[in-house]
């Protein structure tokens, strides 16, 4: 099981702040994960409608699309950051 955590409008559109998912073995990279999530329902489709606008963190560190998610304890999905 992999823990997924969502923030800001990604959280609002998916309708939950976190969940544990069993990811299929074919989901190897961050990019694969985004494509897989979009198949889980229309709320995911709405949240991930513009995949380029989604930032991903693996174990609380920023991750690029090609990075592998094997062994990830926690994967965060969120929009571009607007702190400061």
Partner 1 sequence: MPSILRPIVSVQREDIDTRAIVHALTDGRTDVGALVTFTGLCRDEAGRLEALELEHYPGMAEAELTRIGEEAIGRFALLGLAIVHRYGRMEPSDQIVLVAATSSHRQAAFDGANFVMDYLKTSAPFWKKEHGRDGTEGGWVAARDADDTARLRWKQD
Residue nearer to partner 1 on the CB measure, 12 or 32: 12
Q: With H, G, I as helix, E, B as strand and everything else as coil, classify residue 10.
A: helix
The site for partner 1 (CB under 8 A) is made up of 5, 7-9, 57, 60-62, 76, 78-84
Closer of 33 and 58 to partner 1 (Cβ): 58
Q: 65 and 47 in contact (C-beta within 8 Å)?
A: no
DSSP-derived secondary structure for 18-74:
EEEE---TT--BHHHHHHHHTTS-HHHHHHTSSGGG-EEEETTEEE-TT-B-TT-SE
Please identify, using beta-carbon distances, which residue of 9 and 15 lies nearer to partner 1.
9
Q: How far is the CB of 24 from partner 1 (least distance, A)?
A: 26
């Amino acid at each position: 099981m992999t823990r997924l955590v969502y923030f800001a409008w990604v959280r609002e559109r998916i309708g939950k702040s976190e969940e544990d998912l069993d990811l299929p073995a074919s989901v190897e990279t961050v990019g694969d994960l985004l494509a897989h999530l979009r198949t889980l329902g229309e709320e995911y489709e709405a949240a991930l409608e513009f995949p380029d606008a989604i930032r991903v963190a693996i174990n609380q560190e920023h991750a690029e699309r090609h990075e592998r998610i094997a062994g990830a304890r926690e994967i965060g999905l969120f929009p571009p950051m607007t702190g400061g």
